[in-house]
Amino acid sequence: MVMVALGQTAAVAALAPALGLTVQQIVQAAPHADHAGLGAPRGVGAGQAGGRRPDPAFARPTKRVGPVYPQDVAHALARRHGWHIAKDATGWHQVVASPSPEGIVETETIHDLLTCGALVICAGGGGVPVTADHDTGALTGADAVVDKDLTAALLAEELKADFLLILTDVPCVYTGYGTHDPQPVLDATPDDLRRGGFPAGSMGPKTEAAARFVERTGALAAIGALDAAYEIVHGRSGTLVRRDLTVG
């Protein structure tokens, strides 16, 4: 089984199914979808990603959500709604926590759908963030955005996927990306990726997700371009991540 990750609040909960439906419609409309193995029943679900409290991320909200506000409006909204706010180069924003996912609530349902031959689209945007009560286990929505790449890695691990494919808008991982001398990384171990110092706002979460999946499962992961998925799976494109690079 190949797990594909494509590169939260109530707004995320509302948006994720809509994005899932869009992906589903594109897949259904693709030429020769049935011959490519994409003619199976589809399942679209938001997917709830569970975090834990107190996760340190809840004490240091950093993820920008929503529009840019003038300073006076931002402070007024923060007082009214109890928001955390922060300023960047574009203006004032609401900021929320970005915790690591601890589990996927619907893993068993997703597994059952896959067993039935469904192509499941789930955990969009990292999933709808919830936390579980320590005593009762009751789930409560959280003002947070769970990282989508880490959610994909955790879901792939829980589903015992053979391969985690992280698709983005560049052909592979590069060291020195954005400089005059970017170097492609075609083969890497988890340690190699962690030494790369990739930016937290772009390639960093993708390399960490691939590293975690490979470390915890011993399976393979790859990072590459959305339009090269077939070539990546067959080893002709992208960055392949494995436990070691021993030849022979």
Q: Is 3 within 8 Å of 156 (Cβ atoms)?
A: yes
- % of the chain residues with pLDDT over 70: 77
Closest to 206 in 3D by CA, of 124, 146, 147:
147
Tell me how far apart the alpha carbons of residues 224 and 228 are, in angstroms, rounded to a whole number.
7
Enter the pTM of the model: 0.76
pLDDT higher than threshold 60 for residue 43: no
Tell me how far apart the alpha carbons of residues 22 and 24 are, in angstroms, rounded to a whole number.
5
Q: Is 169 within 8 Å of 235 (Cβ atoms)?
A: no
Question: In the predicted model, what is the mean pLDDT of residues 120-126?
Answer: 81
Reported as a pLDDT band with limits 50, 70 and 90, residue 32 is low
Question: In the predicted model, what is the mean pLDDT of residues 165-186?
Answer: 93
Inter-CA distances, 192 with 56, 175, 186, 225, Å? 26, 11, 11, 20
